[in-house]
Amino acid sequence: MSMVSPLLFLILVPLVAIAFILVGSNARMTALIASVVNLVFVLALFAVYKQGEAPYQFLWSLPVIPSMGIALTLGADGLSLIMLLLAALVTVAAVAVSRTPEKNANWFYASLLFISAGGIGAFASIDLFFFYMFHELALIPTFLLIGIWGSGDRQAAAWKATIYLALGSFVLLLGLIGLYLIQPEGMRTFDLRAIIGMAEAGFLPDGNWVYLLLLIGFGILVSLFPFHTWAPQAYASAPAPAAMLHAGVLKKFGLYGLIRIAAPILPESVAAFSNLLLVLLVGNILYVGYVTISQRKLDWMLGYSSVMHMGYIFLGFAALNTLSLTGASLMLFAHGLSIAALFALSGELRERTGTLDFAELGGFAKPMPAFGLLFGFAAFAAIGLPGFVGFAGELLVFFGSFIGGEPSMGSINGKEIFALNNFQIATICAVWGVVISAVYMLRAYRRVFFGPLNDRWAGLPEISGLTRGAIVTLIVVMLVTGFFPSLLINFLQSASQVWP
């Protein structure tokens, strides 16, 4: 155990930056420096991380409630590192594309950094109690960001999201307490490694109700159908950087938690409730998918699309094999980057035009060709076009889920024939979902960038400077990891040891 974990610095950098901002240093510069420092830090961790040794490295622990086995334990394996990279990248991009508001700029950037610190803390925690607590750091900043700097019906959106998330997080807390209480008396702890050890040794009894609480709690946070209604509204109303951080990083917390906790500890319960989860995730993909097609505004469409894409990741989780879980982990990363790029671009568009209604837009490829190109790349990445990391993730999820579950055999006229089991049916629905997402993304693209250009938009300025650099960076990362997914998959091996 090292003296002090570098992960602690990763959490402290944004918090210290917040302190500086609140006492009056230049908000934008401080936030930008802190987020770039963090990104460099995470990349350095990738370089230092030793493959093939103990999965969790950079360990550090501070007992907080010893009698209940609660400690602030930090540590990272390959999956955590990938999520940390996602968090750091999206933070840099979010700060870079932010337009400093005229009033209270310091609160604005402080709130952004708070969300970032919450995400980083959650992904760097091994102790489930702190894993949970860090995620909640983001709740109030999101409330303030949407409520003060949001657009549209921002008050209703902020209330709805906050109350939904508070409810979900307390359901999740009950699930975590349940996970604590089903451990044998005297050994109870919140340390993830110890709990996985107990599960492998067979000390944990049946935990169906615990899993259900975790599924509903995490499900609300990830906008699992039918608990998804807070998300599109909140993302449509939120200022672009807040939507980027929340949809790109924070929302991944729920699925990350399921992959981290439920998959290794409660695999029997996951299997027992797989049919329920399959129905819900097909709801995410098909129902929400068709709802997405019918949207008339770009921001709402992106909000719904981010809900819909969670369905694929749930599918990867439900199938519960190494292939599908690897795919799900890749998709966490891929979707975080693509949705962040899309929200950044739609925020830029709103700044230029003041509206995101498809009926009023059109022909923007002419005045802003680079903008159109970047949007096209981001949209293709979201669909999962080959060459982007999303494709690798989707492919692995589909392969993994198609072989998930028990093979099912039917018979016709006494002859045994191969039949589809529920996982395979869900996979087919999900493949159809790719078509749905291609339909709405391409339609949006056509409506915004092609067709006749309204005269009032003739002089739109091209995307430039830091904003352009940030979005190009996100797209380049998606392309590089898309052509060489092994860069990420190698790191996932450390996490996959405990997967069923």
Partner 1 sequence: MAMISALALEICVVCVGIFLLMADAFYVHLDKRALAYGGIFGLLVVFAMTFFIEPVPKEYLAFYADDSLGIFFKRFALLGTILTLILSIEYAPVVERFIPGSKPGAGLGEFFVLPVFTCAGLMWMASAADFVMIFCALELVTISFYIQVAYMRKNQASLEAGTKYLILGALSTGFLVYGITWIYGMTGQTGLQKISGALLFFPQASQTALLFGIGLVLVALGFKVAAAPFQFWVPDVYQGAPTPVTAFLSVGSKAAGFVVLMRVIEPFLAVPVINAKLVAALQVLAGLTLIYGNLAAMPQTNLKRLLGYSSIAHAGYLLVGVASVGSPSAGRAIVFYLLGYLLMTFLAFLVLIPVAKAAGGDDIAHFNGLGRRAPGLALAMLISMLSLAGLPFTVGFLGKFFIFEAAMREQHYALVAIGVVTVACGFYYYLKVVRAMYWQPAPADAGPIEVSALTRFAATFLAALILIIGIFPKPILQILP
Question: 16, 166, 425, 466: which one contacts partner 1 (CB under 8 A)?
Answer: 166
Cα separation, 35 vs 117, in Å, equals: 10
Question: 49, 159, 290, 445: which one contacts partner 1 (CB under 8 A)?
Answer: 159
HSE-CB for 477 with a 13 A CA cutoff:
23
Q: Closest Cα partner for 299 from 359, 250, 345?
A: 345
Cα separation, 498 vs 265, in Å, equals: 9
Q: Is there binding between residue 35 and partner 1 (CB under 8 A)?
A: no
Question: 197 is written with which tokens?
Answer: 């050890």
Q: Closest Cα partner for 147 from 168, 136, 162?
A: 162
What one-letter code names the amino acid at 397?
V
Q: Is there binding between residue 105 and partner 1 (CB under 8 A)?
A: no
Nearer to partner 1, 121 or 347 (CB): 121
Nearer to partner 1, 209 or 484 (CB): 209
Question: 79 is written with which tokens?
Answer: 């999956």
Question: 25, 26, 104, 493: which one contacts partner 1 (CB under 8 A)?
Answer: 104
Nearer to partner 1, 107 or 398 (CB): 107
Which of left, alpha, beta for 282 (phi over 0: left; psi -120 to 50: alpha)? alpha
For CA atoms 472, 477, 482, 484, give the dihedral sign.
positive
Least distance CB 219 / partner 1 (angstroms) = 15
Please provide residue 75's backbone torsions phi and psi, each rounded to the nearest 5 degrees. 180, 160
Least distance CB 177 / partner 1 (angstroms) = 5
Structure-token match 């395979």, residue found: 424
Nearer to partner 1, 150 or 289 (CB): 150
Cα separation, 135 vs 412, in Å, equals: 52
SS3 breakdown of the chain: % helix, strand, coil, rounded to 5? Answer: 70, 5, 20
Least distance CB 100 / partner 1 (angstroms) = 17
Q: Are strands 415-419 and 408-412 parallel, antiparallel or unpaired?
A: antiparallel
Q: Please provide the DSSP assignment of 116-146 as one string.
A: HHHHHHHHHB-BHHHHHHHHHTTHHHHHHHH
Segment lying near partner 1 (by CB under 8 A), choices 141-149, 268-276, 349-357, 481-489: 141-149
Question: 380 is written with which tokens?
Answer: 């293709």
Question: 43, 148, 466, 472: which one contacts partner 1 (CB under 8 A)?
Answer: 148
Q: Is there binding between residue 20 and partner 1 (CB under 8 A)?
A: no
Cα separation, 495 vs 259, in Å, equals: 10
Nearer to partner 1, 65 or 279 (CB): 65
Q: Is there binding between residue 40 and partner 1 (CB under 8 A)?
A: no
Question: 100, 155, 294, 408: which one contacts partner 1 (CB under 8 A)?
Answer: 155
Nearer to partner 1, 178 or 197 (CB): 178
3-state SS assignment for residue 297: strand
Q: Is there binding between residue 12 and partner 1 (CB under 8 A)?
A: no
Least distance CB 72 / partner 1 (angstroms) = 9
HSE-CB for 231 with a 13 A CA cutoff:
31
Convert residues 55-94 into a mask of x (bound to partner 1 by CB under 8 A) and - (unbound). --------xxxxxx--------------------------
Least distance CB 159 / partner 1 (angstroms) = 7
Question: 13, 126, 128, 144: which one contacts partner 1 (CB under 8 A)?
Answer: 144
Contact in structure between 60 and 69 (CB atoms under 8 Å): no
Q: Is there binding between residue 171 and partner 1 (CB under 8 A)?
A: yes
Q: Is there binding between residue 4 and partner 1 (CB under 8 A)?
A: no
Q: Is there binding between residue 16 and partner 1 (CB under 8 A)?
A: no
Nearer to partner 1, 183 or 401 (CB): 183
Q: Is there binding between residue 174 and partner 1 (CB under 8 A)?
A: yes
Contact in structure between 457 and 356 (CB atoms under 8 Å): no
Q: Is there binding between residue 181 and partner 1 (CB under 8 A)?
A: yes
Least distance CB 171 / partner 1 (angstroms) = 6
Least distance CB 139 / partner 1 (angstroms) = 7
Residue 127 pairs with which residues in a beta bridge?
191
Q: Is there binding between residue 258 and partner 1 (CB under 8 A)?
A: no
Segment lying near partner 1 (by CB under 8 A), choices 158-166, 279-287, 353-361, 391-399: 158-166
Least distance CB 314 / partner 1 (angstroms) = 23
For CA atoms 171, 173, 179, 185, give the dihedral sign.
negative
DSSP H or E stretch at residue 113: helix 105-124
Please provide residue 127's backbone torsions phi and psi, each rounded to the nearest 5 degrees. -80, 125
Q: Is there binding between residue 153 and partner 1 (CB under 8 A)?
A: no
Least distance CB 184 / partner 1 (angstroms) = 14
Q: Which residues bind partner 1 (CB under 8 A)?
A: 63-68, 104, 107, 132-134, 136-137, 139-140, 143-144, 147-148, 155, 159, 162-163, 166-167, 170-171, 173-174, 177-178, 180-181
